[in-house]
Amino acid sequence: MSLIVRLGKKGKAVIKKLISPVEEHRVSYTRRIERIKTKRRIVAMTFDDGPMDMPASPDLFGGRALTDVILDTLEEFGAKGTFDVIGDTSENYPDTAGAVGSPAWGGIAYDHYPDLGHDDRGGAVHNDRLIRRMLEGGHQIANHGYRHVIFGRKPFVYGRRKYLGSFDRAVADLKRLDSLISEKYGYKLAMSRPPHYVDAIEKGLTSYDVYDELGYQYMAASFDGAGWLPSKNADGKAAYEAEVEEMVRPVREALERDPEFFCGQIIFQKDGYNMAKRTPVASGLRLQLELLKQYGYEVVTVAELMAESPFADVGRDDPDFEKLRAISSERAIVYSDNRLRLDAVMTVGELSMLISPRKAAVEGRRAILKRDGKASKYAGAMEYCVERGYIPRGAKESEPVTALPGAFFGKVEGFTRREVMRAYKL
């Protein structure tokens, strides 16, 4: 059954290349953070779906909770993890488990191991001790959804799965976990990864709109730690050993090819069972960390990675780095794929995002979408700027900028994105 998932992933990628348009990246407050640009040997590891108070499987750790095993291992290496936690799955019934090794093994309607009957041992609601241990250990926590329900339909893999299906329901689900973590622990969540990376919701709205509302960044990953996939060709102990090796071999081979390979990358891991009810991460993580240590890497949180550089294509060696970072903290100047593209010509739509306040850009777009049934990504910002005379009425957002409103800019030598932002008055 795991072969279906592997082939499905490959097939979906091929289909997307053949029949889907190239993904259009726009300047956005919410950016998909997969990696950042740095020459330092720093890397982040993220762990989805926990915390989990169930033992590793097979249990080679004296009954210790899987999340404890992961934390023990990280701390032994002086590493910091980012835990993409859920809240509580006990409301996800009625449901039954699908076939082991299939995408639905953890639940046909939802995703919460219904055949185990231990929702009370998973999630932040039921694991105060583990959440406190994460925070006290300096690890980062991110929002993976209170009930871990996908935002919209995903017929290719999860055709029978229930989904939230609206912007308001997605926001409410995330806010529920956000409030729990904030009120109980005084911790501010700043990042989120949508369950199963399902972005589309309804009526032109996506996870990016949800994260705009909450002030989150979209935490993705650039390297698959592979512990969630079951072995294709083995059972029992041999299967576990094969799964552990499948976690370690790609890391080893990547480092042998290029010792700088993992600089600034984000590695995806799972704090839970894989599709065969095993937890190779319990053993494989140690071996991955040993390899990274041999090559001089420091394992940090995603927040620490972004403190090094918040951009995928501009690092600290860029002469405009500090100004660009300062602007990005208050205005939307980065594309949704976390790139600045400084050599490109600034467009009118991008200019409107730079000079309009966040509320006008984000809430204004949603108001236009509600009113007209459609709205471009820059619609709110464009309307704000046109009403104030910053850009001419009738201007097209895709047009290159040829003039700048004097209130926001000093001397401008040209109209590339770098030149415009270099002249912008903070």
Say if residue 107 is in the same domain as residue 151: yes
Name the DSSP letter for residue 295: T
Tokens of 426: 């903070």
Asked whether residue 337 is domain-assigned, the answer is yes
Q: What are phi and psi of 49, to 5 degrees?
A: 85, -5
Say if residue 260 is in the same domain as residue 349: no
Asked whether residue 1 is domain-assigned, the answer is no
Domain boundary among 272, 306, 340: 306
User: Which of the residues in the chain have pLDDT under 50?
Assistant: 1-22
Asked whether residue 9 is domain-assigned, the answer is no
Q: What are phi and psi of 345, to 5 degrees?
A: -75, 135
Domain boundary among 281, 306, 331: 306
Say if residue 76 is in the same domain as residue 172: yes
Contacts of 351 (CB under 8 A, 6+ apart): 385, 391, 401, 404, 420
Q: Could you tell me if 345 and 301 are in contact, meaning their C-beta atoms sit under 8 angstroms apart?
A: no
Q: How far apart are CA 362 and CA 28, in angstroms?
A: 9
Asked whether residue 77 is domain-assigned, the answer is yes
Q: What is the largest CA-CA distance in the chain?
A: 70
404: left (phi over 0), alpha (psi -120 to 50) or beta: beta
3-class SS of residue 117: coil
Q: Which pLDDT tens digit goes with each residue over 152-183?
A: 998 888 888 999 999 999 999 999 999 999 99
CA separation (Å) from 149 to 31, 32, 202, 218, 303?
22, 20, 15, 17, 25
Say if residue 338 is in the same domain as residue 199: no
Say if residue 234 is in the same domain as residue 352: no
Say if residue 358 is in the same domain as residue 288: no
Q: Which pLDDT tens digit goes with each residue over 33-49?
A: 999 999 999 999 999 99
Say if residue 277 is in the same domain as residue 327: no
Asked whether residue 18 is domain-assigned, the answer is no
Tokens of 405: 């409103």
Segment holding 223, helix H or strand E: strand 223-224
Q: Which pLDDT tens digit goes with each residue over 117-150?
A: 999 999 999 999 999 999 999 999 999 999 999 9
Relative orientation angle of helices 66-76 and 281-294, to the nearest 10 degrees: 10
3-class SS of residue 81: strand
Total tally of structural domains belonging to the chain: 2
Residue 166 structural domain:
25-306
pTM of the model: 0.93
Residue 4: predicted pLDDT: 45
Say if residue 127 is in the same domain as residue 186: yes
Say if residue 98 is in the same domain as residue 36: yes
Domain boundary among 278, 306, 334: 306
Residue 23: predicted pLDDT: 57
Q: Could you tell me if 65 and 130 are in contact, meaning their C-beta atoms sit under 8 angstroms apart?
A: yes
Asked whether residue 343 is domain-assigned, the answer is yes
199 CB neighbour count, 10 Å cutoff: 18
Q: How far apart are CA 373 and CA 371, in angstroms?
A: 6
Tell me how far apart the terminal alpha carbons of the chain are, to the nearest angstrom: 55
Say if residue 139 is in the same domain as residue 262: yes
